[in-house]
Structure 1
């Protein structure tokens, strides 16, 4: 094994990123504003006034997962992300499988984000006048993403920081309008736990939990971070705590707005835009659409940046074609794996649109795909933590409890996630997902046989 063990044969990427840049990568993939625009209205529809509590529990759960990753991140760093951690406890084969799962996850999220970003920019452009087909925006945004991510890593990272900051500011602006609106009363009674029921919290918990997926992408920057063993653990922690704090505030404040507005707003195509119209904000539609557009673009940069680095690692392992190991001669970015991965995602998005799926349908299908892959990856890392510490004779009670509770939590979340899929398209997505896993296992097994 070469890349996954971080040997000197790893292609030389620019080691130039500080803590802020590494953290930006993780937060961009989480996409806080995407949660405000899409997930929080769904959670409120399920959990009602208990939305803030639902997000609090989800944040505590994801903190357990992040602590497992942080335990490894203090010792190992590379471009393969969490596959590097799995290598320590479960060996080469499971590390390669984890890399394959990460590739499927980021590929699924990449298609999702291309579709949603194209829809958002199409809506925004339509407000200005010309109406262009979605495929046009998929191709143009795909080209823009390739250009930015293939540049010096600091360029794409800086763009993520700017775009995400702007979109977060816009959501806070909407929250301030809600708090000072004459028809809305600031109500602290909702913080009383007696106002929440178990069924309300449980029904929205899965959506809230899924709002955090992607925070682990900071681990793919191990070869470009100036101080990876120090900064990546901090980035993983910040990328759960900061979005968690934002989600708690937004869930409560936006909940006040939804509570005062007509109930049918939550079933509209864009609940936040409808809420803005209810509050009689003349620029709500344009501002919120702009916020969603830049956040989708920011998240796309983060996802394809992570996908390119995982693809580079798998290319060095000969799981992907040799072209995926190509490094940009001037910018020292993994341009080969980026071109391959982004090209497949653009083609996949265009095919799904041609099949008649709307961006919201693609969001459901590919979100299911990517989330399932990451749940399995988190589980493999948790198992690896226990086995690694046991093998080295340092399995403490705290690590045993941390690993066991996290595995139980992830198993419960995965079962709940699968049991909630009752639509044909989503069930077909799960079937395709497992077929691709089998394909990956076959490729990995063949490579193992060739090397032996």
Structure 2
């Protein structure tokens, strides 16, 4: 790391402004609970998750998809509870990177930040493939004009670059509005399908009875499908990196993380059940084959207006997800650069107090990845591959966060440490999360999804090499990952 990085980090940690070093920090108290909550909610992209992210699970779960989603809801809420425990005492733009550094040590914390730098940035190219294809289809159906998906990717990413650059308040307000719209549309259609089904509603979808892979009594197929169910939950922790820009972060961040995981999880359970029942449990092969199954459902239950409404909801959801994902990823990059673990230019703040260089680089690389994978594998396969890689990365991060919660309270908050709250609450989701990881090893998924695990392993190996370099040349940069950059007194824990 450069001398500038070292000087900048020391200046920030000491609370001083060194000569020639302007580091005002992120804008404090810029957003409240509602904006922070919808940062997590839109980062989960509820409409896109229901209409697209859960679809690859059906070849494994069959009509038992609601069971896989319910189990993922339980596990994700437990993970959120662990992250919330850490957020009470460690408000930081570093999010999981800082939490894990504090709980499990600087080295594992850095590797967590390194994995985050692969997993979280893949969310934008992943989701841009969604709005690209849906926008292409919608325009063609309405006007007969054909504007290819990659043009929409460029347009959408350009809009998000501007939205995230001009301040967290504007970006967070946009997330709130976009989130309310997508949830409202999907809830309305879900209830329409459930009510219309009448006597055909079938609660055996909450058992492994329909699992395609009958191994372990059908649970093997459920476990494989849970990988994609977890994909739908990725982002509930996205509020954490906004701690330094939030009002009362020790309260709002834990609330936002837990409420988003639980509330949207229940929404997913309802919508996945409605989708299976609305399509027909015995006809789900055609559901998987459909390019936009929920657009088809919209036409079936809402007539000619249905496809338009659903398409707009998915585009809205995808853009909201991209917006929130950029905020989360760039704040962690900013925190790593501020600590000296990444080049100092990545910690540069614009006059709007946003990490402008990190934002621009993030959007540029995401656009490149989306276009490259889309052309190489085809959009649908690229979507599944990117989703698998980022899901596996986040599963490792969630496991580490659970263990970090127990370790942090045992070492630093012994008077608050409790067996049920910090041992059982940490171990249960850890055990659950290992199951979808294991089914990525045996049986191996088909090509190119079998590339996901090697990509993640290679990235970790590179991280270990870079970690060795930091230990040799800049050991202080690792220890700074534990630092909290908020000076106010702790509030009463919620």
TM over 0.5: yes
Q: Which residue number corresponds to residue 125 of structure 2? A: 111
Q: Which residue number corresponds to residue 60 of structure 1? A: 74
Candidates 373, 386, 402, aligned match of 1:366: 386
Task: Please tell me whether residue 199 in structure 1 is matched to residue 218 in structure 2.
Answer: yes
Q: 1:405 Cα shift?
A: 2.3
Q: Which residue number corresponds to residue 432 of structure 2? A: 409
Listed one character per residue, the Cα deviations across residues 80-130 of structure 1 (whole Å, up to 9, x for unaligned) are 111111122222222221111111111111211122221222222222332
Q: 1:42 Cα shift?
A: 4.7
Q: 1:19 Cα shift?
A: 0.6
Q: Is the 8 A contact 2:384 2:449 kept in 1?
A: yes
Q: 1:300 Cα shift?
A: 0.5
Q: Which residue number corresponds to residue 13 of structure 1? A: 26
1: CA distance, partners of 2:290 / 2:321: 24
Q: Secondary structure, in 3 states, of the residue corresponding to 2:89?
A: coil
Q: Is the 8 A contact 2:40 2:256 kept in 1?
A: yes
Q: Secondary structure, in 3 states, of the residue corresponding to 1:185?
A: helix
Q: Secondary structure, in 3 states, of the residue corresponding to 1:320?
A: coil
Q: Is the 8 A contact 2:126 2:386 kept in 1?
A: yes
Q: Is the 8 A contact 1:43 1:51 kept in 2?
A: yes
Q: Which residue number corresponds to residue 404 of structure 2? A: 384
Q: Secondary structure, in 3 states, of the residue corresponding to 2:105?
A: helix
Candidates 448, 454, 464, aligned match of 1:425: 448
1: CA distance, partners of 2:57 / 2:369: 29
Q: Which residue number corresponds to residue 20 of structure 2? A: none
Q: Which residue number corresponds to residue 139 of structure 1? A: 154
Structure 1: state its 5+ residue gaps: none
Candidates 229, 239, 244, aligned match of 2:250: 229
1: CA distance, partners of 2:284 / 2:447: 28
Q: 1:7 Cα shift?
A: 6.8
Q: Is the 8 A contact 1:179 1:185 kept in 2?
A: yes
Q: 1:37 Cα shift?
A: 0.4
Structure 2: state its 5+ residue gaps: 1-5, 17-22, 211-216, 476-494
Task: Please tell me whether residue 292 in structure 1 is matched to residue 314 in structure 2.
Answer: yes
Deviates more, 1:172-181 or 1:264-273: 172-181
Pairing 1:32-43 to 2, within 5 Å after superposition: 32-43=46-57
Q: 1:364 Cα shift?
A: 1.0
Candidates 185, 188, 193, aligned match of 1:170: 185
Deviates more, 1:430-439 or 1:12-21: 430-439
Q: Which residue number corresponds to residue 213 of structure 2? A: none
Q: Is the 8 A contact 1:50 1:190 kept in 2?
A: no
Q: Which residue number corresponds to residue 474 of structure 2? A: 451
Question: CA RMSD for the aligned pairs?
Answer: 2.6
Q: 1:32 Cα shift?
A: 1.1
Q: Secondary structure, in 3 states, of the residue corresponding to 1:438?
A: helix
Candidates 167, 176, 198, aligned match of 1:161: 176
Q: 1:263 Cα shift?
A: 4.4
Question: CA 1:48/1:372 → structure 2, altered by over 3 Å: closer, same or farther?
Answer: closer
Q: 1:186 Cα shift?
A: 4.5
Question: CA 1:352/1:208 → structure 2, altered by over 3 Å: closer, same or farther?
Answer: closer
Q: 1:309 Cα shift?
A: 0.6
Q: Secondary structure, in 3 states, of the residue corresponding to 1:74?
A: helix
Task: Please tell me whether residue 238 in structure 1 is matched to residue 259 in structure 2.
Answer: yes
Q: 1:416 Cα shift?
A: 2.5
Question: CA 1:123/1:341 → structure 2, altered by over 3 Å: closer, same or farther?
Answer: same
Q: Secondary structure, in 3 states, of the residue corresponding to 1:223?
A: helix
2: CA distance, partners of 1:142 / 1:441: 31
Listed one character per residue, the Cα deviations across residues 184-215 of structure 1 (whole Å, up to 9, x for unaligned) are 32456527977957526555433323321211
Q: 1:412 Cα shift?
A: 2.4
Listed one character per residue, the Cα deviations across residues 213-272 of structure 1 (whole Å, up to 9, x for unaligned) are 211111110110111100000001111111012112212322221228854431322221
Candidates 411, 421, 441, aligned match of 2:464: 441
Deviates more, 1:303-312 or 1:244-253: 244-253
Q: 1:33 Cα shift?
A: 0.8
Q: 1:380 Cα shift?
A: 1.6
Task: Please tell me whether residue 303 in structure 1 is matched to residue 325 in structure 2.
Answer: yes
Deviates more, 1:361-370 or 1:41-50: 41-50
